[in-house]
Structure formats: C-alpha cells, structure tokens
C-alpha cells in the first residue's frame, strides 16, 4: 500500500511521521530515501516524537547509530559513510534489523539487499518551492 503526502513545513513532515509511529510494531524497519536536505532526519524526528522519545533527534554524523528510548526503542542510522552491505554487516546492522526496536535508516539504498521483506519505504523529495516536500510511504502487502 502506498500513501502520498505533500507538506509545506518541517512541522508538517514531523506530524505525518508521528502519526505513522502510532501504528508501528516492535521490530519495524523504515528505509528512508531522498537527497540531502529532503527531510529524512526531520521525518525521523517526528517518529521519535510519536514514539514518546525523551531525547531530541540530531543527525548521527560521526556515529552510525543513535538510540532513542520511548514506547519502543528507536534506532536512527545514517549510512551516508557506509559503502556497501558488507561494511554495514561489520558494524552489526543485521542485529538491529532483526531486533525488537524500530530502525529508521537514512541512505538505505546502501544496504538494500539486507532489508527485511516487511520494510516500510519512505521516499522524500523536494517540491516546487523551498518548503515543499513530497512524501511517499510504501508498506508491503506480505499476503499477496
């Protein structure tokens, strides 16, 4: 199933993510796609809010994983500096992907082959003006 949205502020993007967070179950994986500045981190900030995280979300620029405790533990990963799936396995991505927490992964295309079948894909893109973004959220239908 695919849902599409257009937002006109970072707050609006965060709200969509927070709504999605309410429906997430333990172990959910979200793969985030989109250029630099598209709003991937902003979206994950909304997820954290929706999960009741007590710390605020910042880009994990020098670490690969940031952890946010909440209703469900959120793992925020930024794989910009990762070259391929092998390198991601070296830091233990697999354990996160198959654990009980929620994984939200920026630059997920780097590890496409490792993503579980149930991965929720979130694609963000710049719109026609500075504050416009399109967001597509695809949830796989595993029964078809």
Q: Which residues contact ligand ADP (rule: CB under 6 A)?
A: 7-10, 12-13, 34, 36-42, 106, 131, 133
d(CA 79, CA 82): 5
- The residue among 38, 20, 29 whose CA lies nearest residue 95 is 29
Q: Is 40 one of the binding residues for Mg ion (CB under 5 A)?
A: yes
Does residue 41 belong to the site contacting Mg ion (CB under 5 A)? yes
Stretch that binds Mg ion, among 40-48, 95-103, 107-115, 116-124 (CB under 5 A): 40-48
For the packed helices 10-22 and 40-50, what is the interaxial angle rounded to 10 degrees?
50
Q: Which one of ligand ADP, Mg ion, none interacts with residue 61, CB within 5 to 8 A by kind?
A: none
Task: Give the one entry of Mg ion, ligand ADP, none that residue 3 binds, where binding means its C-beta sits below a cut-off of 5 to 8 angstroms depending on kind.
Answer: none
Minimum Å gap between C-beta 17 and ligand ADP is: 10
DSSP state letters, 55-89: S-----SSSSEEEE-SSS-EEEEE-TT--SHHHHH
Residues that bind Mg ion (CB under 5 A): 40-41, 59, 106
């Amino acid at each position: 199933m695919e849902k599409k949205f257009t937002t006109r502020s970072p707050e609006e993007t965060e709200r969509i993510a927070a709504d999605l967070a309410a429906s997430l179950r333990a172990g959910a994986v979200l793969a985030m796609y989109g250029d630099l500045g598209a709003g991937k981190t902003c979206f994950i900030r909304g997820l954290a809010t929706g999960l009741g995280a007590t710390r605020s979300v910042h880009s994990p620029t020098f670490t690969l994983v940031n952890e946010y405790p909440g209703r469900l533990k959120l793992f925020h990963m930024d794989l910009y500096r990762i070259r391929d799936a092998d390198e991601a396995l070296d830091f233990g991505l697999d354990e996160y992907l198959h654990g009980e927490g929620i994984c939200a992964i920026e630059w997920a295309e780097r590890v496409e082959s490792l993503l579980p079948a149930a991965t929720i894909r979130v694609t963000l893109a710049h719109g026609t003006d500075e504050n416009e973004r399109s967001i597509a959220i695809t949830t796989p239908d595993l029964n078809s």
